Structure 1
Amino acid sequence: MSEAPLKVAIVGFSGLIGKRHTVHVLENPATDLIAVIDPSPGAASIKTDLGVPETTPIFADVADLLKSTTVPKPDCAIICTPPHTHVPISTTLIEAGIHVLVEKPISDTVESGRALVALAKKNNVHLLVGHHRRFNPYIVAAKKAVSEGIVGNVLAVSAIWALCKPDPYFDADPALSWRKSRSRGGGVVLTNFVHEADILQHLLGRIVRVHAEEITPQRNAEARKDPQHDMAEEGVALTLRFASGVVGTFILSDAAVSPHSFEMGTGENPHIPRVRSGHDGHEAEGDEIDVYRILGTHGTLSVPDLILTSYGKGNARSWNDKLQREKLAIDTDPRVPFERQLDHFVKVVRGQEEPSCTGQAGLAAVQVCQAILESLATKKTVDIAE
Structure 2
Amino acid sequence: MSPPLKVAIIGAGLIGPRHAQSVLSNPSTELIALVDPAESGPATAAKLQTQYFPTLSALLYSSAKPDAAIVCTPNHTHVSISKELLSAGVHVLVEKPVSESIESGLSLLRHARQPENAHLKLLVGHHRRFNPYVLKAKEIIDSRALGQIVAVNGLWATFKPPSYFSPPTEWRRSRASGGVIPINLVHDIDIMHHLFGPIIRVFAEATRKQRSNPPHDANEGAAITLRFSSGVVGTFLLSDATPSPHTFETGTGENPMIPQAATTAATGGGGVADFYRIFGSDACLSVPDMRRWSYDGREEKSWTQPLALETFDVVHATPFDVQLRHFADAIRGSVRLGCTCEEGLRALVVCDAVRRSLESGLPVDVGLELE
Q: Relative to structure 1, is the Cα distance of residues 180 and 29 closer, same or farther in structure 2, using a 3 angstrom cutoff? A: farther
CA distance in 1, matches of 2:17, 2:266: 33
Deviation, 1:251, is: 0.9
Q: Relative to structure 1, is the Cα distance of residues 236 and 103 closer, same or farther in structure 2, using a 3 angstrom cutoff? A: same
CA distance in 2, matches of 1:380, 1:209: 11
CA distance in 2, matches of 1:24, 1:5: 14
Residues 85-122 of structure 1, C-alpha deviation per residue, up to 9 Å, x if partnerless? 22122122222221111111112222222221221121
Could you tell me which residue of structure 1 aligns to residue 6 of structure 2?
7
Check if 1:121 corresponds to 2:121.
Answer: no
Deviation, 1:287, is: 1.5
Higher mean Cα deviation, 159-168 or 249-258?
A: 159-168
Structure 1 residues not aligned, in runs of 5+:
225-230
Check if 1:27 corresponds to 2:20.
Answer: no
Could you tell me which residue of structure 2 aligns to residue 154 of structure 1?
149
Structure 2 residue identity aligned to 1:10: I
Could you tell me which residue of structure 1 aligns to residue 204 of structure 2?
212
CA distance in 1, matches of 2:296, 2:37: 58
**Do 2:133 and 2:288's aligned partners in 1 also have CA atoms closer than 8 Å?**
yes
CA distance in 1, matches of 2:321, 2:306: 42
Q: Relative to structure 1, is the Cα distance of residues 154 and 315 closer, same or farther in structure 2, using a 3 angstrom cutoff? A: farther
What is the TM-score normalised by the length of structure 2? 0.90
Residues 250-329 of structure 1 mapped to structure 2, 5 A cutoff: 250-279=236-265, 286-313=270-297, 315-329=299-313
Q: Relative to structure 1, is the Cα distance of residues 178 and 47 closer, same or farther in structure 2, using a 3 angstrom cutoff? A: farther
Structure 2 residue identity aligned to 1:289: A
Q: Secondary structure at the match of 1:201?
A: helix
Q: Relative to structure 1, is the Cα distance of residues 273 and 45 closer, same or farther in structure 2, using a 3 angstrom cutoff? A: farther
Residues 292-316 of structure 1, C-alpha deviation per residue, up to 9 Å, x if partnerless? 0011222211111110111115742
Could you tell me which residue of structure 2 aligns to residue 89 of structure 1?
81
Q: Relative to structure 1, is the Cα distance of residues 177 and 343 closer, same or farther in structure 2, using a 3 angstrom cutoff? A: farther
Q: Relative to structure 1, is the Cα distance of residues 289 and 323 closer, same or farther in structure 2, using a 3 angstrom cutoff? A: same
Q: Relative to structure 1, is the Cα distance of residues 143 and 239 closer, same or farther in structure 2, using a 3 angstrom cutoff? A: same
Deviation, 1:43, is: 3.9
Could you tell me which residue of structure 1 aligns to residue 187 of structure 2?
195
CA distance in 1, matches of 2:266, 2:223: 28
Structure 1 residue identity aligned to 2:352: Q
Q: Relative to structure 1, is the Cα distance of residues 379 and 73 closer, same or farther in structure 2, using a 3 angstrom cutoff? A: same
Q: Relative to structure 1, is the Cα distance of residues 171 and 221 closer, same or farther in structure 2, using a 3 angstrom cutoff? A: closer
Check if 1:164 corresponds to 2:159.
Answer: yes
Deviation, 1:223, is: 3.6
Residues 51-71 of structure 1, C-alpha deviation per residue, up to 9 Å, x if partnerless? 311x52142x4234334x3x5
CA distance in 2, matches of 1:140, 1:91: 30
Deviation, 1:13, is: 2.3
Residues 291-370 of structure 1 mapped to structure 2, 5 A cutoff: 291-313=275-297, 315-330=299-314, 332=315, 334-370=316-352
CA distance in 1, matches of 2:271, 2:226: 28
**Do 2:276 and 2:288's aligned partners in 1 also have CA atoms closer than 8 Å?**
yes
**Do 1:82 and 1:178's aligned partners in 2 also have CA atoms closer than 8 Å?**
no
CA RMSD of aligned residues (A): 2.4
Check if 1:57 corresponds to 2:37.
Answer: no
Q: Secondary structure at the match of 1:193?
A: helix
Q: Secondary structure at the match of 2:272?
A: coil
Deviation, 1:336, is: 1.0
**Do 1:109 and 1:370's aligned partners in 2 also have CA atoms closer than 8 Å?**
no
Q: Secondary structure at the match of 1:144?
A: helix
CA distance in 2, matches of 1:169, 1:43: 26
Structure 2 residue identity aligned to 1:157: V
Deviation, 1:45, is: 4.8
CA distance in 2, matches of 1:238, 1:288: 24
Deviation, 1:210, is: 0.6
Structure 1 residue identity aligned to 2:311: K
Deviation, 1:170, is: 4.0
Could you tell me which residue of structure 1 aligns to residue 221 of structure 2?
235
Q: Secondary structure at the match of 1:335?
A: coil
**Do 2:132 and 2:317's aligned partners in 1 also have CA atoms closer than 8 Å?**
no
Q: Relative to structure 1, is the Cα distance of residues 232 and 356 closer, same or farther in structure 2, using a 3 angstrom cutoff? A: same
CA distance in 1, matches of 2:305, 2:57: 66
**Do 1:117 and 1:127's aligned partners in 2 also have CA atoms closer than 8 Å?**
no
Higher mean Cα deviation, 32-41 or 235-244?
A: 32-41
Instruction: Give the share of equivalent positions with the same residue, in percent.
Output: 47
Q: Secondary structure at the match of 2:349?
A: helix
Could you tell me which residue of structure 2 aligns to residue 227 of structure 1?
none
Q: Relative to structure 1, is the Cα distance of residues 375 and 7 closer, same or farther in structure 2, using a 3 angstrom cutoff? A: same
Deviation, 1:47, is: 4.7
Could you tell me which residue of structure 2 aligns to residue 66 of structure 1?
60
Q: Secondary structure at the match of 1:245?
A: coil
CA distance in 1, matches of 2:189, 2:328: 25
CA distance in 1, matches of 2:164, 2:16: 16
Q: Relative to structure 1, is the Cα distance of residues 144 and 112 closer, same or farther in structure 2, using a 3 angstrom cutoff? A: same
What is the TM-score normalised by the length of structure 1? 0.87
**Do 1:104 and 1:194's aligned partners in 2 also have CA atoms closer than 8 Å?**
no
**Do 2:13 and 2:73's aligned partners in 1 also have CA atoms closer than 8 Å?**
no
